[in-house]
Chains A and B, each alone.
Chain A
Amino acid sequence: MGNKIIVPFGSQHVALPEPVSFLFETQNEVITDVTVNIGYVHRGIEKAAITRFEYTQLPYLVARVCGLCSITHAGAYTHGIEKLLGIETNKKIDYLRMLVVELDRIHSHMLANGHVAEVVGYENLFMQTFRYREDVMDILERITGNRVQYDYQIIGGVARDFDKETEDFAREKLLTLKANTEKLIEFFENDYTFALKTKGVGTISKEMAEKFNAAGPIARASGLETDARAEYDYLPFEEVGYKLQTRTEGDVWARNMVRFDEIMNSIEMCLNILDGIPEGEHRVKVKGRPDGETFVRVEAPRGECFYYLKGNKTKVLERVRIRVPTYANIPVLKELFVGEKYSDAQAIVLSFDPCMSCTAR
Chain B
Amino acid sequence: MTINPEITFFEATIDNVVDLIKAWYDEKKYHYVTVNATDNGGNVTIDWIFSKYYDKNKLVVFRAENVAYDAKIPSIVSVVPSAWIAEWELADLFGLDVENAAKGVFIEPDAPQAPLRKGEANG
Q: Which residues of A contact B (CB under 8 A)?
A: 37-39, 42, 44, 46-47, 79-80, 82-83, 87-89, 94, 210-213, 225-226, 230-236, 294-297, 306, 308, 310, 318-319, 321, 323, 327-328, 330-332, 360
Contact = CB atoms under 8 A, between A and B. Distances in A.
B54 A225 contact: yes
Contacts of A211: 27, 81
Given A42-B106, A47-B116, A328-B82, A233 B33 contact: no
Given A47-B115, A332-B82, A295 B59 contact: yes
Contact of A323 (B33, B52, B106): B33
B86 interface: yes
Given A47-B116, A211-B27, A212-B82, 15 more contacts: A39-B107, A42-B107, A79-B3, A83-B2, A210-B28, A211-B81, A213-B82, A225-B54, A232-B3, A232-B56, A306-B33, A306-B34, A319-B39, A323-B34, A323-B86
Interface string B18-32: 000000000110011
Contacts of B54: 225, 231
Contact of B1 (A39, A46, A94, A225): A94
A324 B57 CA distance: 19
A212 B1 contact: no
Nearest to B39: A319
Contacts of A294: 3
A46 B53 CA distance: 29
B81 A331 contact: yes
Interface string B44-87: 00010101111111010100000000000000000011101110
In this complex, the interface size class of chain B, counting residues with CB under 8 Å from chain A, is 35 or more
A327 B61 CA distance: 20
Interface of B: 1-5, 7, 27-28, 31-34, 36, 38-39, 47, 49, 51-57, 59, 61, 80-82, 84-86, 93, 105-107, 115-116
Nearest to A44: B115
Contacts of B81: 211-212, 331
A345 to B, nearest CB: 20
18 contacts: A38-B105, A46-B116, A82-B2, A89-B2, A211-B27, A213-B82, A226-B53, A231-B51, A233-B4, A233-B57, A295-B49, A296-B3, A306-B49, A308-B36, A310-B38, A321-B38, A327-B85, A331-B85
B114 to A, nearest CB: 11
Contacts of B27: 210-211
Nearest to A210: B27
A346 B107 CA distance: 27
Which 9 pairs between the two chains have the least Cβ-Cβ distance? Answer: A331-B82, A39-B106, A323-B34, A212-B82, A319-B38, A213-B32, A321-B36, A234-B3, A210-B27
A357 to B, nearest CB: 14
A308 B3 CA distance: 13
Contact of B56 (A88, A233, A306, A318): A233
B21 to A, nearest CB: 13
A233 B84 CA distance: 29
A246 to B, nearest CB: 13
B4 A330 contact: no
B63 to A, nearest CB: 11
A225 to B, nearest CB: 7
Contacts of B7: 295
Contacts of A306: 33-34, 49
Contacts of B116: 46-47
B53 to A, nearest CB: 6
Nearest to A335: B81
Contacts of B107: 39, 42
A233 B3 contact: yes
